Amino acid sequence: MELTANLRPRISLSTVIRIKRSLAGEGKLTITKGQEVEPDDILGSYQLSAGFSTVNLAKELGVSKEAGGDYLKRKKGEVIYKGELLALKTSLLGKRQVVAPTDALIDEYSPTTGELLLKFVPKRLQLTAGVYGIVDEVRNSSGEVFIKTLVNEIFGICGSGKERSGILELIDGKGHLTTKNQVTRDMKGRIVLTGALIYKEALNQAIEYGIAGVISGGLNAKDYIAIAGSVNAFNRVGTDVGLTVIVTEGFGPIPIGDDIFALIQNYLGKYVFTYGNSAKLVLPVQNEDIIITLRKTILPPVARSPERQPELLVKEIKIGSKVRIIWPPFVGSQGKVIGIDKSVSTLTSGISTILLTIETPLRKLKIPFTNIELI
């Protein structure tokens, strides 16, 4: 009897795709179609406003809300820098002064609340390529650049969030649990690689600190539903809470697989791309020699999108097949088939099935063939 199992691709090496780079604010692209680029090459620049801050002038000066604006030393629309005098009140008892808490533009004062609104000074930022590649398309109207490049891809079990990119940073070992205390402010804008599970409090702190993405072996199911809205892929496409999350193994504390961890750790400190709603991590090949390959590669007008998952296949289980166990108590363990029973066994649950002998780095296991997937 031929035994079959799902073959779910986990890694794809040396694939040519298009990477999209977008201006995050109002700006201008300076790149042209056909231009060859390196990771630090500038594609354009844009202006980004960081938001607003408020100062309760009335309270700080000890005056009525209606009168607070009378003590301002700067006019609306003026730029003020951190530490400079913002407002001053003098009296027989002395003086009270308020200094600017940050670089900002003076905006509106509210006599109803006594608060002054400060608009953070817009920053001029540059958009870099992030990859070695060839510019395939430039869309000036939308501020988008599509770059043909060579990448390695990792396909997770589930995920959530829009496309985000950043420098990859390791928080902890692949089998550890990630807590709130391990998530720090200096990780802002980064893609962080965690361990076997990241707790809800750590995820919330990652959102608060502006971390771009989180990659974890496992996640509690209720935490995932809180982020993604549903375990159904069709219901969660487009969901985003300000953080991109990719789960490589499944629900519960499951260490990141040896195959994925061996590849991903080579990209620590390098620029990577995450696609949460399709649970995909894209690792650009950081080698200028790939330009030679790219010159010879022509992608169709509508190339395979980085957002698209590979198709699930069904293959025959054979001696030597590499497998991943998908059922407790050894879920996530990887190994190879070294034996296939010739007769049916009856389990304690009453189910009759064919057992496989799986050799893992730590032990040999007897596993029902329905409890594995080919990798």
| Domain locations in the chain as residue ranges | 7-18+146-295, 52-121, 317-374
Whole-number Å distance between alpha carbons of 86 and 89 = 11
Whether 243 and 226 have beta carbons less than 8 Å apart is answered as no
What pLDDT score does 306 carry? Answer: 58
Residues 323, 374 contacting (CB under 8 angstroms)? yes
- Measure the CA–CA gap between 199 and 180, rounded to whole angstroms: 7
Q: What is the second-level CATH architecture of the domain 7-18+146-295?
A: 3-Layer(bba) Sandwich (3.50)
Residue 171's CB: how many other CB atoms inside 10 A? 22
Q: Do 337 and 319 contact (CB within 8 A), yes or no?
A: yes
Buried b (16+ CB within 10 A) or exposed e, 177-197: bbeeebbeeebeebbbbbbbb
Mean pLDDT of successive 10-residue stretches along the chain, which has 375 residues: 83 92 91 95 86 87 91 89 90 85 88 89 87 94 94 92 93 86 93 93 92 93 82 62 91 90 93 92 94 89 59 84 86 88 85 90 88 87
Q: What are phi and psi of 285, to 5 degrees?
A: -70, 115
The pLDDT tens digits for 46-94 are 987 767 888 998 899 989 999 989 999 988 888 888 889 999 998 877 8
Strand partners for 128: 42
Distances (CA, A) of 47 to 26, 119, 127, 190: 6, 14, 11, 21
Residue 113 near residue 65, CB atoms below 8 Å:
yes
Domain 317-374 has CATH 2.30.30.30: yes
Gap between the Cα atoms of 227 and 236, Å rounded:
9
Q: State the pLDDT at residue 81.
A: 87
Q: Which CATH number fits domain 52-121: 1.10.287, 2.40.160, 3.30.1370, 2.40.50?
A: 2.40.50
Handedness of CA 220, 226, 230, 236 (dihedral sign): negative
Per-residue burial over 314-348, b = 16 or more CB atoms within 10 Å of its CB, e = otherwise: eeebeeebebbbbeeebbbbbbebeebeeeeeeee
As a whole number of Å, the CA-based R_g of the chain is 27
On average, the pLDDT of the chain sits at: 88
- Give 71's DSSP letter: G
What 3-state DSSP class applies to 57? helix
Cβ pair 135, 33 in contact under 8 A = yes
Nearest Cα to 152, choosing from 11, 8, 293? 11
Identify the pLDDT of residue 309. 64
| Contact partners, residue 370, CB within 8 Å, separation at least 6 | 5, 353
Angle 175-173-11 (CA atoms, 0-180°, nearest 5)? 75
Q: pTM of the full predicted structure? A: 0.74
